[in-house]
Chains A and B, each alone.
Chain A
Amino acid sequence: MNIIEIRELKKEYPLGNTIVPALRGVDLEVEEGEFMSIIGPSGSGKTTLLNVIGCIDFATAGSVTVGGREITTLSDTQVTDLRLNKIGFIFQNFNLIPVLDVFENIEFPLLLMKKSGAEARKRAEKLVEEVGLKEFAAHRPAELSGGQRQRVAIARALVTNPEIVLADEPTANLDSVTGAAILELMRRMNELEKTTFVFSTHDANVLKYARRIVKIKDGLIEKEPAAA
C-alpha cells in the first residue's frame, strides 16, 4: 500500500522577474515501511521534494497524497496536525529546542498531541533508551555532540509513532563514523517500528543503507538505481 503518492508535482520559485522551476513534474510512489533514499546533486530538488511531502512547502501544481490525504487542499491547522500525527522530521542541522533537555525535546511532540504525562514519559523513556542517550537525558542540546543531537532528533521524529519519517541529509554535518551510526540507527528503527523512512543525500557512502534509491536531477526523477 502506498503511503505517499505524487503525481505531476511541480514547484516553482519566483526569483525577481524570473520563475525558477525546482520540480518539473515528479511522479513518485512510496510504500509503507520502505527505507528509501533520494539522491542527487545539490540543487536537483531533493530538499524541495521532501519539503512538499512533509507539508513544509506547497506544490505549484500536481497532487501529493500523504497517508491517504491530499495535502494540497488542507488548511494551515490541518497541515500542522498532519505533520504532528503522521510525519516525523529529521533536519540536517539537528534543530532542537535549546531550552529543553534531551528528554523534554523527545517528549515535546507528545505533549503537543496532549498525551497524558505518564504516557508521554513512558514513550519518551523508551526512545531515549533506544537511541542510547539515557545517561544524557537531562542534558541540554548545547551540551551534546553533533551525533548525539541528531540521535535526539531521530528519537523526537519517532516518538509519536509517525507513519513517515522524512530526513533531509541527516548525515551532512556529521563525520563519517557518526553518520554511519545514525543511518544504522534509522534502519534499526525502520525494522523495529516499521516506520517508512525517506531521506535525501548526495553522499554515495550513504546509499548502501537504502533499500530503494530514487535519483533526482534538474527537478525530475531519472531512474531508480539498484538498492544495496
Chain B
Amino acid sequence: MKLLLTIAWRNILRHKGKSLVIGVILFTGAFLMTVGNGVISGMAAGIEKNIINGFMGDIALISDAQKSDNILLNMMGSSIEPITTYRKIKEILLAQPYVRRFLPVGKNLAMLLDESTVTPGYAYLLGADFSEYRKMFPDNFTVIEGSYPAPGERALLVPAFARDEFYDFYNIWFLPEGGGVVKENLKKEALADINSLVVSTSVVMMGMTSGINTTSDIRFPVRGIVRYGALNQIFGHFCLVDIESYRECLGYFTAADMSVQVPKEEKKLLGMEGPDLDSLFGGDAMIVRDYKAAPKLRAAPAAAKTAEDGVYNAVFIKLVDGVSYKEALAKLNRAMAGGGTEVRAVPWNKASGPMGGMALIIKSALFIFVTLLFCVAVIIIVNTLTMSAIERSSEIGMMRAVGARKTFIAGMFLGETAILSAVFGGLGIAAGILAVKIIPLLEITTKNDMLQLLYGGNFFNPLLSFSGIALTAFQLLVVTVIAALYPMRVAVGITPLDAISRE
C-alpha cells in the first residue's frame, strides 16, 4: 500500500498540469456542494424557525374529518373542516406539561368582493382573538400603518403583501381607518397613479367553504397594515381578523349568537331551523349583502356562551423547548382521541403544506445542479486520466513485465484519483465550511421577498450539519470511484507487449 501510494503521489507531482486541472474541478465541486448544503440547511432551519415561532407553532390540531393535513396553503376553495370541541381540547392541552402555549384559530379562504366591478380576488382569513394571538406570536409582524386592534375589537389586519395584491385586482389602495396614504409604502404602480389613487378603509369579503352558499358578505374595517418580519411572500397572504367576524364571514355559529337565547317561536318566525345569522348582526362595521343566504348551524347552540364555545378550524401549539417532536405528536394524538375531541395532531411541516416542502424542493434542485456539475467533472477527470494512462503505457507495461498484477495497476490509478479527491476535495470542503462560518458574520440581511425565501428568513444564515458534510464527502467518494473506473480499465488492459511495441 505504501509503495502504491508513493507511486501515485509522485505521479501526481510529476504531472502537475493534469493534476491541477482535476484538482480544481474537485475543489470547485466540493466547495459548491458544501456551501449549497449549508444554504439549504440554513434555509430549512430559517423557514422552520419562522413558521414555528411566527406563524403556526410546532403542531396543529385539526378536525378528524379534515382529509388533508395541509390546512394552511391548500388548494383554492378547499375548505378546512370545523372544530366544535375546543372546550375539551383546551382542558386536555392545559394538562400537557410539554405544551408551552396554544392558540385556537379559524382559517379559510375568503373572496374579496368589489363593490363597483365583478372581478373577485381572494385572501386567506386567519381568525383569532387578537390579544391571544399577540401572546402566541409576540413579534412576528410590525404594524406599519394604523394600529393593533384592542382586545375584543372587530377589525381586520391586512399584510402589506396582500394589500399590494388587492391593488392589482381592484386598483384600490386599502388604508387603515383614520390613516392617510404613506408614500413610502405605496406599490410602484400605485405611486405612479397617486393623483387618482382610489382608497378605501374597509374590505368586503365573502367566506368560502365547500358549501359556499352558507357564507356571508362582511365588510371588515381595516385597523392596520402589517409587515411580517420575514417570508412576507408566504405569510402575507393571510389577513388577521377577529374570530367572531371570521365566523360570521364563514357562516359559522358564533359565540355572540348564543348571548341571546332566541325563543323557539321567534326562530320559526325567522325561519331559523337553519337560522340566518347575518340578520343578527347589523352594526356599522359590517354589512350583509346577501340576506337570502342561510348560514348553516355548525355548533350546538345550547353549549355556546363565550368566544371559545364557537367554531374553529385549528389549534396552533408551541411546545416546551427541547421536547421531542415525535413524542409530543404521539402523546397529543393519544390524549385527543381519549378525550373524544375528534381532532388529530399534525406537525408544522405537514400543516403548512408547500412551505414545509419548500426546503426539499430547493434541496432537490441544488442536488440536480451539483449532480450535473459532478457529471461534467467525472467526464473531464475520466478523459484526463485515460490520456494519462495511455501516455504511461510504457511505464505501466514495464511494471506488468516485472511482475505487477492488474490489481496493483488499478490500485495505482485509484490511489492517484483518491489522493487528488482527498487533497483538493478536502480543501474544497474545508473552504466551504469556512465560507458557511464566515457568511453569518457578514450579517447579510434582506427585505427582498424572493431572497427571504432563499435565506429562510430576512437573515442569510447558512448552516452546516455533520450529515451535510458527510453527504458531500460521500458524493466526492462516488465521483472518485466513477472517475477512476474507466482509466483503471484502460491501464490494466495495457500489457507488457504494448509497452515494448510502443517503444
Identify which of B13, B401, B404, B503 gathers the most chain A CB atoms within 10 Å of its CB. Answer: B401
A108 and B405 contacting across the interface, CB-CB below 8 Å: no
Chain A contacts for B394, CB-based, 8 A? 93, 95
B290 within 8 A of A: no
Taking a contact as CB atoms under 8 Å apart, the answer to whether A100 and B497 are in contact is no
Interface check A10, CB cutoff 8 A:
no
Tell me, yes or no, whether A99 is within 8 Å of chain B by CB: yes
Secondary structure at the B interface, as helix, strand, loop or mixed, is helix
Interface positions, chain B 388-445, Cβ under 8 Å from A, are 394-395, 397-406, 408
A109 to B405, CA, bound (A): 11
- In the complex, A60 has a CB within 8 A of chain B: no
Stretch at the interface among A25-33, A74-82, A121-129, A175-183: A74-82
Pick the residue among B11, B398, B408, B495 that contacts A112 (CB under 8 A).
B408
CB distance from B502 to the nearest CB of A (A): 10
A109–B404 Cα distance when bound, in Å, is 8
Tell me which of B405, B406, B495, B500 contacts A91 (CB under 8 A).
Answer: B500
Any B CB within 8 A of the CB of A151: no
A44 on the interface (CB 8 Å rule)?
no
| Distance between Cα atoms of A108 and B2 in the complex (Å) | 12
Is B36 in contact with chain A by the CB < 8 A criterion?
no
For the complex formed, measure the closest distance between the CB of B430 and the CB atoms of chain A, giving whole angstroms.
28
Task: Return chain B residues, CB-CB under 8 Å to A160.
Answer: 403
Binds B, one of A50-58, A62-70, A214-222: A50-58
* A104: B residues at CB distance < 8 A: 6
Chain A 133-165 interface mask (CB, 8 Å, partner B; 1/0): 000000000000000000000001100100000
Q: How many A-B residue pairs have CB under 8 A?
A: 78
Interface residues in chain A, defined as those with a beta carbon under 8 Å from any beta carbon in chain B: 47, 51, 54, 56-57, 76-77, 80-81, 83-85, 88-89, 91-93, 95-100, 104, 108-109, 111-113, 156-157, 160, 168
Contact A57 B3 (CB under 8 A): no
User: Known interface pairs A85-B403, A91-B500, A113-B403. Does A99 touch B14 (Cβ–Cβ under 8 Å)?
Assistant: yes
Whether B10 is near chain A, meaning CB under 8 Å from some CB there, is yes
Let me know if B503 and A84 touch, CB within 8 A: no
Q: Would you give the shortest CB distance from B150 to chain A, in whole angstroms?
A: 83
**Residue interface mask B470-503, A partner, CB < 8 A = 1:** 0000000000000000000000000111011001
Is there an interface contact between B7 and A97, defined as CB atoms closer than 8 Å? yes
Interface size on B, residues (CB 8 A): 26
The smallest C-beta distance from B355 to any residue of chain A, in angstroms, reads 57
Contacts of A96 in B (CB 8 A): 398
Q: Are A99 and B11 in contact (CB under 8 A)?
A: yes
**Across the interface, do B7 and A80 meet the contact criterion of CB distance under 8 Å?**
no
Q: Are B398 and A111 in contact (CB under 8 A)?
A: no
Q: Name which residue of chain B comes closest to A94, CB basis.
A: B398
Q: Smallest distance from the beta carbon of A74 to chain B beta carbons, Å? A: 13
Q: Is the CB of A56 within 8 A of B497?
A: yes
Bound together, the chains give a CA A133 to CA B343 distance in angstroms of 89
18 A–B contacts, CB within 8 A, in A order: A51-B497, A51-B500, A56-B497, A56-B500, A81-B403, A83-B402, A89-B402, A95-B394, A95-B397, A95-B503, A97-B395, A97-B399, A99-B14, A104-B6, A108-B402, A113-B403, A160-B403, A168-B500
B7/A111 in contact, CB under 8 A: no
**Bound complex: CA A167 to CA B373 (Å):** 50
- A109 lies within 8 A of B402 (CB): yes
Contact of B401 among A83, A85, A98, A111 (CB under 8 A): A83
Given contact pairs A95-B397, A99-B11, A100-B6, enumerate 13 new A-B contacts (beta carbons under 8 Å). A47-B500, A77-B406, A80-B405, A84-B402, A91-B401, A93-B394, A95-B395, A95-B398, A95-B499, A96-B398, A97-B399, A100-B7, A112-B405
Q: Which residues of B contact A95 (CB under 8 A)?
A: 394-395, 397-398, 401, 499, 503
Closest to A159 in B: B402
- What 9 A-B pairs have minimum CB-CB distances, sorted nearest first? A84-B403, A99-B10, A95-B398, A56-B496, A111-B3, A83-B403, A93-B503, A112-B403, A80-B405
Interface pair A97/B398, CB less than 8 Å apart? yes
A residues in contact with B13, CB < 8 Å: 99
Q: How far is the CB of B260 from chain A (nearest CB, A)?
A: 97
Asked if residues A76 and B403 are in contact (CB atoms below 8 Å), the reply is: no
Cα–Cα distance between A116 and B235 once the two chains are bound (Å) = 71
Q: Which residues of A contact B6 (CB under 8 A)?
A: 100, 104
A83: B residues at CB distance < 8 A: 401-403, 496
Residue of A nearest to B402 (CB): A109
Query: Shortest beta-carbon distance, A194 to chain B, in Å?
Result: 21
Interface string of B41-83 (1 = CB under 8 A from A): 0000000000000000000000000000000000000000000
Chain A residue, CB-CB nearest to B15: A99
